[in-house]
Amino acid sequence: MKNLIIIFSSLTIFSCVNTNKWEVLFDGERVNGLRGYRQSGFPSNDWAVVDGTLKTIPGHGVDLISENIYKDFELELEWKVTIGGNSGIFYYATEEGDYIWQSAPEMQVLDNDVHTDGKNTLTSAGALYAMIAPKEVVVNPVGEFNKVRIISKNKKIEHWLNGTKILEYIYGSEAMWELVAKSKFSAMPLFGKASEGHIGIQGDHGEIWYRNIRIRKL
Protein backbone atom coordinates (compact mmCIF):
# COMPACT_ATOMS: atom_id res chain seq x y z
CA MET A 1 0.00 0.00 0.00
CA LYS A 2 2.84 2.40 0.86
CA ASN A 3 4.38 1.91 -2.59
CA LEU A 4 1.01 2.57 -4.24
CA ILE A 5 0.66 5.83 -2.32
CA ILE A 6 4.11 6.96 -3.43
CA ILE A 7 3.34 6.13 -7.08
CA PHE A 8 -0.03 7.91 -6.93
CA SER A 9 1.56 10.99 -5.36
CA SER A 10 4.21 11.10 -8.07
CA LEU A 11 1.58 10.86 -10.79
CA THR A 12 -0.46 13.62 -9.16
CA ILE A 13 2.51 15.98 -9.05
CA PHE A 14 3.43 15.15 -12.66
CA SER A 15 -0.11 15.85 -13.84
CA CYS A 16 0.11 19.39 -12.42
CA VAL A 17 3.13 20.23 -14.57
CA ASN A 18 2.25 22.31 -17.62
CA THR A 19 2.96 20.23 -20.71
CA ASN A 20 1.65 22.74 -23.23
CA LYS A 21 4.19 23.42 -25.95
CA TRP A 22 5.85 26.78 -26.35
CA GLU A 23 4.91 28.78 -29.43
CA VAL A 24 8.07 30.48 -30.64
CA LEU A 25 7.12 33.86 -32.08
CA PHE A 26 10.71 34.86 -32.84
CA ASP A 27 13.73 32.55 -32.71
CA GLY A 28 16.46 34.92 -33.84
CA GLU A 29 15.90 34.26 -37.53
CA ARG A 30 12.22 33.85 -38.28
CA VAL A 31 9.07 35.64 -37.15
CA ASN A 32 6.09 33.36 -36.62
CA GLY A 33 2.64 34.36 -35.45
CA LEU A 34 3.20 38.12 -35.31
CA ARG A 35 1.72 40.81 -37.55
CA GLY A 36 1.20 44.55 -37.52
CA TYR A 37 -1.55 46.06 -35.41
CA ARG A 38 -4.70 46.22 -37.56
CA GLN A 39 -2.68 44.80 -40.45
CA SER A 40 -2.91 41.45 -42.21
CA GLY A 41 0.81 40.76 -42.41
CA PHE A 42 4.16 41.44 -40.79
CA PRO A 43 5.38 45.07 -41.25
CA SER A 44 8.80 44.33 -42.73
CA ASN A 45 9.34 48.01 -43.56
CA ASP A 46 9.13 48.88 -39.88
CA TRP A 47 10.85 45.94 -38.16
CA ALA A 48 14.03 44.08 -39.15
CA VAL A 49 15.90 40.96 -38.05
CA VAL A 50 19.38 42.10 -37.01
CA ASP A 51 21.99 39.96 -35.25
CA GLY A 52 19.44 37.56 -33.82
CA THR A 53 17.10 40.30 -32.64
CA LEU A 54 13.86 41.79 -33.86
CA LYS A 55 14.34 45.56 -33.89
CA THR A 56 12.51 48.66 -34.98
CA ILE A 57 13.73 50.65 -37.96
CA PRO A 58 14.41 54.28 -36.96
CA GLY A 59 11.91 56.70 -38.42
CA HIS A 60 9.21 54.05 -38.70
CA GLY A 61 6.67 52.91 -36.16
CA VAL A 62 4.20 50.04 -36.12
CA ASP A 63 3.09 47.99 -33.12
CA LEU A 64 3.14 44.20 -33.39
CA ILE A 65 0.43 41.82 -32.19
CA SER A 66 0.13 38.07 -32.00
CA GLU A 67 -2.01 36.35 -34.57
CA ASN A 68 -3.46 34.15 -31.83
CA ILE A 69 -5.57 35.18 -28.87
CA TYR A 70 -4.68 34.20 -25.30
CA LYS A 71 -6.38 34.12 -21.91
CA ASP A 72 -4.26 32.04 -19.53
CA PHE A 73 -0.66 32.16 -20.74
CA GLU A 74 3.03 32.48 -19.94
CA LEU A 75 5.02 34.88 -22.12
CA GLU A 76 8.80 35.10 -22.18
CA LEU A 77 11.04 37.50 -24.09
CA GLU A 78 14.08 39.72 -23.76
CA TRP A 79 14.35 43.42 -24.55
CA LYS A 80 17.03 46.07 -24.88
CA VAL A 81 16.65 49.81 -25.35
CA THR A 82 18.87 52.60 -26.59
CA ILE A 83 19.55 55.73 -24.52
CA GLY A 84 16.20 57.31 -23.70
CA GLY A 85 14.40 54.32 -25.25
CA ASN A 86 10.75 53.47 -24.63
CA SER A 87 8.49 50.58 -25.61
CA GLY A 88 5.94 48.28 -24.02
CA ILE A 89 4.52 44.77 -23.92
CA PHE A 90 0.74 44.45 -24.10
CA TYR A 91 -1.72 41.67 -23.30
CA TYR A 92 -5.49 41.21 -23.60
CA ALA A 93 -5.32 43.55 -26.61
CA THR A 94 -8.13 43.98 -29.11
CA GLU A 95 -8.06 45.85 -32.41
CA GLU A 96 -11.18 47.90 -31.80
CA GLY A 97 -9.30 51.13 -31.13
CA ASP A 98 -6.95 53.16 -33.28
CA TYR A 99 -4.10 52.31 -30.90
CA ILE A 100 -3.28 49.15 -28.99
CA TRP A 101 -2.95 50.95 -25.64
CA GLN A 102 -6.61 51.98 -25.80
CA SER A 103 -7.60 48.42 -24.87
CA ALA A 104 -4.58 46.61 -23.44
CA PRO A 105 -2.68 46.71 -20.14
CA GLU A 106 1.04 47.32 -20.67
CA MET A 107 4.26 46.23 -19.03
CA GLN A 108 6.56 49.20 -19.45
CA VAL A 109 9.88 48.90 -21.34
CA LEU A 110 12.14 51.87 -20.65
CA ASP A 111 15.50 53.50 -20.09
CA ASN A 112 14.75 54.59 -16.52
CA ASP A 113 17.78 56.87 -16.26
CA VAL A 114 17.18 59.17 -19.22
CA HIS A 115 13.54 58.93 -20.30
CA THR A 116 11.19 61.24 -18.38
CA ASP A 117 8.86 58.30 -17.57
CA GLY A 118 11.64 56.90 -15.41
CA LYS A 119 11.13 59.70 -12.88
CA ASN A 120 7.79 58.19 -11.88
CA THR A 121 7.79 54.61 -10.57
CA LEU A 122 4.28 54.10 -12.00
CA THR A 123 5.72 54.50 -15.51
CA SER A 124 9.17 53.00 -14.92
CA ALA A 125 10.51 49.78 -16.45
CA GLY A 126 8.40 46.77 -15.53
CA ALA A 127 5.43 48.77 -14.23
CA LEU A 128 1.83 48.09 -15.11
CA TYR A 129 1.89 51.34 -17.01
CA ALA A 130 0.43 54.29 -15.08
CA MET A 131 -1.16 52.02 -12.46
CA ILE A 132 1.21 49.77 -10.45
CA ALA A 133 4.89 50.40 -9.78
CA PRO A 134 7.41 47.55 -9.59
CA LYS A 135 8.27 46.41 -6.06
CA GLU A 136 11.97 46.41 -6.88
CA VAL A 137 14.21 48.13 -9.42
CA VAL A 138 15.94 45.25 -11.19
CA VAL A 139 16.26 46.65 -14.72
CA ASN A 140 19.67 46.29 -16.37
CA PRO A 141 21.65 49.26 -17.72
CA VAL A 142 21.00 50.57 -21.23
CA GLY A 143 22.59 48.32 -23.82
CA GLU A 144 21.99 45.13 -21.83
CA PHE A 145 19.07 42.75 -22.37
CA ASN A 146 16.35 42.32 -19.78
CA LYS A 147 14.41 39.08 -19.42
CA VAL A 148 10.62 39.29 -19.07
CA ARG A 149 8.00 36.81 -17.94
CA ILE A 150 4.33 37.72 -17.90
CA ILE A 151 2.01 35.12 -16.42
CA SER A 152 -1.78 35.20 -16.62
CA LYS A 153 -3.68 32.44 -14.84
CA ASN A 154 -7.29 32.63 -13.66
CA LYS A 155 -7.12 36.44 -13.93
CA LYS A 156 -4.03 36.68 -11.70
CA ILE A 157 -1.33 38.62 -13.56
CA GLU A 158 2.36 38.56 -12.67
CA HIS A 159 5.15 40.73 -14.11
CA TRP A 160 8.64 39.26 -13.80
CA LEU A 161 11.86 41.06 -14.74
CA ASN A 162 15.30 39.49 -14.68
CA GLY A 163 14.16 36.61 -12.49
CA THR A 164 12.28 38.74 -9.94
CA LYS A 165 8.51 39.02 -9.57
CA ILE A 166 8.05 42.77 -9.48
CA LEU A 167 4.26 43.04 -9.30
CA GLU A 168 1.00 41.12 -9.38
CA TYR A 169 -2.69 41.97 -9.53
CA ILE A 170 -6.09 40.51 -10.35
CA TYR A 171 -7.29 41.44 -13.80
CA GLY A 172 -10.81 42.82 -13.77
CA SER A 173 -10.92 43.14 -9.98
CA GLU A 174 -12.42 46.06 -8.09
CA ALA A 175 -8.89 47.05 -7.07
CA MET A 176 -7.82 47.19 -10.72
CA TRP A 177 -10.78 49.35 -11.70
CA GLU A 178 -9.96 51.75 -8.87
CA LEU A 179 -6.50 52.15 -10.37
CA VAL A 180 -7.95 52.61 -13.85
CA ALA A 181 -10.25 55.34 -12.53
CA LYS A 182 -7.21 57.29 -11.29
CA SER A 183 -5.32 56.96 -14.59
CA LYS A 184 -5.62 58.30 -18.11
CA PHE A 185 -7.29 55.01 -19.06
CA SER A 186 -10.49 56.10 -17.32
CA ALA A 187 -11.31 58.04 -20.51
CA MET A 188 -10.85 54.94 -22.69
CA PRO A 189 -14.02 52.80 -22.78
CA LEU A 190 -12.22 49.81 -24.35
CA PHE A 191 -9.49 49.55 -21.74
CA GLY A 192 -9.34 46.32 -19.74
CA LYS A 193 -12.70 45.06 -20.99
CA ALA A 194 -11.53 42.00 -22.96
CA SER A 195 -11.55 38.60 -21.24
CA GLU A 196 -8.87 37.40 -23.68
CA GLY A 197 -6.81 39.04 -26.38
CA HIS A 198 -3.64 39.47 -28.39
CA ILE A 199 -0.10 39.93 -27.12
CA GLY A 200 1.43 43.17 -28.38
CA ILE A 201 4.84 44.81 -28.70
CA GLN A 202 5.10 48.57 -29.06
CA GLY A 203 7.13 49.71 -32.03
CA ASP A 204 6.30 53.39 -32.47
CA HIS A 205 8.47 54.89 -29.71
CA GLY A 206 11.95 54.67 -31.23
CA GLU A 207 14.72 52.09 -31.48
CA ILE A 208 14.19 48.87 -29.53
CA TRP A 209 15.46 45.28 -29.70
CA TYR A 210 13.58 42.09 -28.79
CA ARG A 211 14.66 38.46 -28.88
CA ASN A 212 13.69 34.94 -27.71
CA ILE A 213 9.96 35.66 -27.88
CA ARG A 214 7.82 32.69 -26.95
CA ILE A 215 4.45 31.98 -25.34
CA ARG A 216 2.44 29.02 -24.13
CA LYS A 217 -1.11 28.56 -22.98
CA LEU A 218 -1.69 27.57 -19.35
Judge whether residue 122 has pLDDT over 70: yes
The structure's pTM equals 0.91
pLDDT band at 17 (very low <50, low <70, confident <90, very high): low
The tens digit of pLDDT for each residue in 145-170 reads 999 999 999 999 999 999 999 999 99
Count structural domains, the chain: 1
The tens digit of pLDDT for each residue in 33-75 reads 999 999 999 999 999 999 999 999 988 889 999 999 999 999 9
Strands annotated E in the chain: 23-26, 34-36, 47-50, 53-56, 64-66, 73-81, 86-93, 106-110, 146-153, 156-161, 164-170, 198-201, 208-217
Domain annotation covers residue 8: no
Domain annotation covers residue 194: yes
Domain annotation covers residue 199: yes
Domain annotation covers residue 9: no
d(CA 10, CA 67): 37
**Phi-psi region at 84: left, alpha or beta (left = phi > 0; alpha = psi -120 to 50):** left
Domain annotation covers residue 70: yes
d(CA 108, CA 119): 13
Domain annotation covers residue 4: no
pLDDT band at 7 (very low <50, low <70, confident <90, very high): very low
Domain annotation covers residue 13: no
Domain annotation covers residue 11: no
Instruction: Give the domain extent around 44.
Output: 24-217
CATH number of the domain where residue 160 is located: 2.60.120.560
